[in-house]
Structure formats: C-alpha cells, structure tokens
A = this chain, B = another copy of it.
C-alpha cells in the first residue's frame, strides 16, 4: 500500500522548487540530477503539472520552471488528485462496489480512522509546510 512512483516524484519535485523560492527558475536537468528522477520521465511529469496549473514554465535559453501559486496554497492533496492517487471519502479499503453504512466491507470500521488521518495529512499539508525538511534524495 503506497503512493505511485509518479505521485512521489511530483511531490518531491514541487517541494524542491518551493524550497528554491529565492532562485527564480529551476530547470529540468537540475531537478533530475538533484532528485534522482529520470530526465525524460521528469519532463513528462512537469508538462502535466504545467497543464494542471501548478507550475509555470519558461521555454528557451535561461528558461525553467517555477511554482504558479504561493507554496502555502498548493496542497499535497492537489498533487495526488492530478495522478488519481488521493483517497476519496467513499473509497473502500477492500474495493467492494458500494461500501457505506448500508453495505459495508469487513474492514469498514477499522479503516475509517486511518483513512481520515491520511486525508487530513494530504489535505492540510502545503508545499510551504513541507519544504525545507530534511533531504530530498
């Protein structure tokens, strides 16, 4: 049970850029090297983040990437949403079609509390909150 590679990469990328708030633009080569993410895969993710309006990109010489909004306004949950990796309210831990009060799965009750904590963690952690915390390898 874990986040997809792509989601993990995206969070680390965005946190890294948030961390470099002083330097205006960060480029793909630097991100790839510092975060150990394959260059071509990274640029694919970046293009997605640009289309989803989390990232601003400048093409051409001296170009690069920057956050499009303030780091306090980009939540980890927003990132997971893009890659369909966030936890939905109705999400059943055992994957049965319709898991609620009427017809709930065997683990429904046990799942509620960790699910809410995870959702809270993703919803309430902004890039500003998590940037600058330890290493980003």
Chain A positions within 8 Å of B, measured between CB atoms, are: 1-3, 5, 8, 11-12, 15, 76, 80, 85-87, 91, 93-98, 103-111, 113-114, 117-118, 121, 125, 130-131, 133-137
What are 19 A-B contacts defined by CB distance under 8 Å?
A1-B3, A1-B85, A2-B87, A2-B91, A5-B95, A8-B93, A8-B94, A11-B94, A11-B106, A12-B94, A12-B106, A96-B135, A97-B137, A104-B133, A104-B135, A105-B134, A106-B130, A110-B125, A117-B117
A130: contacting residue among B107, B121, B125, CB under 8 A: B107
**A1-B5 Cα distance, complex, nearest whole Å:** 11
Whether B1 and A80, one on each chain, are in contact in the complex, defined by CB atoms closer than 8 angstroms, is: yes
9 more A-B residue pairs beyond the given contacts A1-B3, A104-B135, with a C-beta to C-beta distance below 8 A: A1-B80, A1-B85, A1-B86, A1-B118, A2-B91, A2-B95, A106-B130, A110-B130, A113-B117
